Amino acid sequence: MARAAAAAATSTTYGARDHARAQAGARAEAMPVVPATDWPAPPCEAGHLVWAETVAGGGYTHRAVARGTEIRLTDLRGDACAHLLLHVDGRPWERLNTADTVKVQWNAYLGAGRLLLSDQGRVLASLVTDTTGGRHDALCGTSTLRRNTERYGDGAPHSATPAGRELLKLAALKHGLEPRDLPPSVSFFQGVEVREDGALAFTGSYGPGGSVTLRAEQDLTVLIANVPHPLDPRPAYTSTPLEVLAWAAGPTPPGDPVREATPEARRAFLNTEEALASRGIR
- Between CA 84 and CA 70 the distance in angstroms is 15
pLDDT of residue 46: 44
Please tell me the distance from the alpha carbon of residue 165 to that of residue 171, in angstroms, as a whole number: 10
Whole-number Å distance between alpha carbons of 26 and 52: 16
Query: By the 8 A CB rule, do 32 and 52 touch?
Result: yes
- 34 in a domain, yes or no? no
CA 30 to mean position of chain CA atoms: 15
Q: For each of the chain's 282 residues, which pLDDT tens digit applies?
A: 555 555 556 678 877 787 777 777 667 677 777 778 777 765 554 458 999 999 999 999 999 999 999 999 999 999 999 999 999 999 999 999 999 999 999 998 999 999 999 999 999 999 999 999 888 999 999 999 999 999 999 999 999 999 999 999 999 999 999 999 999 999 999 989 999 998 999 998 999 999 999 999 999 999 999 999 999 999 999 999 999 999 999 999 999 999 999 999 999 999 999 999 988 887
Q: Is 226 a member of any domain?
A: yes
Cα separation of 51 and 74, whole Å?
Answer: 14
Of 190, 188, 198, the C-alpha closest to 234 is 190
- Residue 51 in domain: yes
Q: Is residue 29 part of a domain?
A: no
* Predicted pLDDT of residue 154: 97
CA angle, 25 then 27 then 31, to 5°? 120
* Alpha helices for 95-191 (secondary structure H): 98-104, 145-152, 164-173
What pLDDT does 47 receive?
A: 56
DSSP 118: B
Q: What is the model's pLDDT at position 123? A: 98
- Return the H-helix or E-strand segment holding 100: helix 98-104
Q: For residue 32, tell me if it sits in a domain.
A: no
Q: What is the domain count for the chain? A: 1
Within a domain: 38: no
Whether the CB-CB separation of 139 and 32 falls below 8 Å is answered with: no
Number of CB atoms found within 10 A of residue 22's CB: 10
Q: What is the pLDDT of residues 39-94, one digit of tens each?
A: 776 555 445 899 999 999 999 999 999 999 999 999 999 999 999 999 999 999 99
Q: How many residues does the chain have?
A: 282
Name the residue range of residue 254's domain.
Answer: 44-277
Within a domain: 33: no
Looking at the domain assignment, is residue 128 inside a domain? Answer: yes
Contact 159, 58 (CB under 8 A): no
